Chain A
């Protein structure tokens, strides 16, 4: 089906994987990497390519699954967001030593900004720590084009290869010429070699030496060498760029007329940086500007730093996304040109995100505040992080941390004889991902905490991917399902109840009971189960939609607008009262129980 398609960067990566004969692809969803796996699955289905494509419970398991396919000789890939690589870093660093058989690509999508992440970490630093080569795509089309060379590099040196797109590659879209899908027809063939695949420390030192030699050889591997953009241009000052910073710089240098005067290079493989390239640049130029995201990985590999300008020299900002308007100023200064006229900066924050109108999490948070009014509320990663707006999320650290932190708060207070109610919130997907070990620990250590599992049976924030209890896979194909209640009980929890937050009075009573239980006994778990407004499909009987109205009893106190923050409740300053925005209201009816003046009710049938 060759042709030209409008593809998101993530879809382009997926297309590259399918075309290059990738046989196993795994992932755990996370912005900006989420769309890769589903696109792989769609093309697998469309082309009939033999593949195993699966959402894993977390990035570590995803990594290990795909890696096993690679050491069995198949081409395999695992994709994740940058903080997912932290979760998978244990197998990642070890696999660098043990190496691969079939080509193995680790896609780790960075998020400079950050737009939708806890950190702006640079995955290339972790690749360098692991001694794994990494490629920096500049655009969706380029990302697709780098997949086959990444597999080739991986197989040539029997080493995992990282492909490191950033948000502006993942979520850019571009017209991309696609090719044909040709399955490689390889059969799994794991050759036992205990000194490698099961290496004990005595073998690890040999493997490390082997790895060091591989990296040195990769630093002169021709197919991934830096590219000179304007070979005929000579001059004392040169510009080196990688990733999206290259895409911005290429357009800007052209528009500023600097391509005729400044030698311009693109780094394709930021680690290991090609040694001959470094030597030549240092010999030919007196000043070298390096533009890259997010840290100075390329910059720091120039041995003589006196000539190099970049993040570490203070020329390029070290935090935040490297926007084209920023690069424009840096290039102008570097070329000793007059700075472009200052323009009003775009005011960044705009409107803060909020939970959808009718989101059941909002009801859960309201109930938590009422059930444990002076409590501590450790939170977690998902849409429900937005409970911060509702003052029902006090901490957000990383996936699964709500339960570990809740237990930690309990022990911190208890050892000094202080009592405090602690109510943690964690989504169902996040609970499976990293919450289970923390809950086991809380049981063993007798942490007197309440854990509310916000169970909408979907991974909502990243685009409604299935969870282990969904019973279906990437494309809706049936899978086994894990019962979350049985899992909680299996962790040793003795109090586990299921409630529906949209049935607010009953849910509040249940939560009060759980908090009281936790105070005396140990972990109590409440599973708050209601559908995501974006994806109600996993529920056979989603809540009925009711028509809401606000009576004359509304005195404009705005409690519902400021404390409940449902976007469907709109304050009318002229009339000093609140109304429902009928375009937004989902009809969940929870606001009936929120209004202190009892002014909100169900509208009589028209």
Chain B
């Protein structure tokens, strides 16, 4: 089976069986099985986990996401929203953040791994999804993507560096300025990542969570900040509504 077809089969459509563990096909454990089986279910013996690796998740979700931007844009916030959406589904989550001086306008990266992982970092060429809050990061961080993965990017049109990555471009800076959503560029781009894929992106896995799940995380995180919540939901929906055909 070609790699893409295998992945397409493995990746449940958004909002489908990944949310209903009961419907997931029970797979017998296979020791030393082929590559595909290893990717679905770690062969790591239980004692190997030693408090390290979580037990297998319901539905077999396995997704690696990289969010990048510069300090002050809310890169970590996007990472946290996705992590909490995974938590709400009962999925194991391992994420990694940049703190300290880099947060002062320097490059900030959040790695997020949903599923039975032990390492907190995404290796180059392994990310299923890349969310770029700055266009300039496409050149430097594009190589995190695996073949068959895709990127959402804050840019008027998809940069050449992402050709082949089924890019979902959204000019979030311009939209934020127009709508007075200055601090919510990050959520516009996240919205774009949650929205419909562009033409030519068939077979690429959707984000592991739905827009409604992110809205629900926002509602609980910003429960006591009504105006901020309203602006955040508006920014998310604005991003979801943008389906700009990718230009290569």
- A interface residues with partner B (beta carbon < 8 Å): 4, 6, 8, 31-32, 34, 115-116, 138-139, 141-142, 145, 168, 171-175, 227-231, 244, 246-248, 250-252, 254-255, 257, 259-260, 264, 266, 323-325, 328, 343-347, 349-356, 383, 385-386, 461-463, 567, 582-583
Does B210 touch A at the CB level, under 8 Å? no
In the assembled complex, the CB of A485 is this many whole angstroms from the nearest CB of chain B, namely 28
A461 to B124, Cβ gap below 8 A? no
In the assembled complex, the CB of A30 is this many whole angstroms from the nearest CB of chain B, namely 9
B101 to A139, Cβ gap below 8 A? no
Does B93 touch A at the CB level, under 8 Å? yes
Q: Which of A175, A229, A260, A355 has its CB near the most chain B CB atoms (within 10 A)?
A: A175
State the CA gap A583–B107 with chains docked (Å): 19
A171 to B97, Cβ gap below 8 A? yes
Does B240 touch A at the CB level, under 8 Å? no
Given contacts A168-B120, A172-B94, A251-B118, contact A142 B100 (CB under 8 A): no
Given contacts A174-B95, A254-B44, A346-B140, contact A227 B32 (CB under 8 A): no
Chain B neighbourhood of A32, CB < 8 A: 99-100
B124 to A6, Cβ gap below 8 A? no
- B interface residues with partner A (beta carbon < 8 Å): 32, 35, 38-39, 42-45, 47-48, 50-54, 70-72, 80, 83-84, 86-87, 91-107, 117-121, 123-125, 134, 136-137, 139-141, 143-144, 173, 176-177, 182-183
In the assembled complex, the CB of A37 is this many whole angstroms from the nearest CB of chain B, namely 15
Contact of B119 among A115, A248, A343 (CB under 8 A): A248
B136 to A343, Cβ gap below 8 A? no
Given contacts A116-B101, A138-B52, A141-B51, contact A171 B96 (CB under 8 A): yes
State the CA gap A241–B47 with chains docked (Å): 15
In the assembled complex, the CB of B14 is this many whole angstroms from the nearest CB of chain A, namely 21
B107 to A349, Cβ gap below 8 A? yes
Chain A neighbourhood of B47, CB < 8 A: 227-229, 231
Chain A neighbourhood of B42, CB < 8 A: 251, 254
Given contacts A171-B96, A171-B98, contact A142 B52 (CB under 8 A): yes
Smallest Cβ-Cβ distance to A233: which chain B residue? B45
Chain B neighbourhood of A349, CB < 8 A: 107
B52 to A250, Cβ gap below 8 A? yes
B100 to A462, Cβ gap below 8 A? yes
Chain B neighbourhood of A247, CB < 8 A: 52, 118-120
New A-B contacts (17) at CB < 8 Å, excluding given A173-B94, A250-B48: A6-B87, A6-B93, A116-B99, A116-B101, A175-B87, A228-B47, A244-B119, A247-B118, A248-B121, A254-B42, A324-B119, A346-B141, A351-B106, A353-B71, A353-B101, A383-B101, A461-B100
5 of the cross-chain contacts (CB-CB < 8 Å) are A139-B120, A173-B93, A229-B45, A260-B32, A328-B123
Given contacts A254-B38, A345-B143, A583-B176, contact A355 B104 (CB under 8 A): yes
In the assembled complex, the CB of B34 is this many whole angstroms from the nearest CB of chain A, namely 9
Contact of A175 among B52, B54, B119, B134 (CB under 8 A): B54
In the assembled complex, the CB of A59 is this many whole angstroms from the nearest CB of chain B, namely 17
Chain B neighbourhood of A34, CB < 8 A: 99
State the CA gap A31–B100 with chains docked (Å): 6
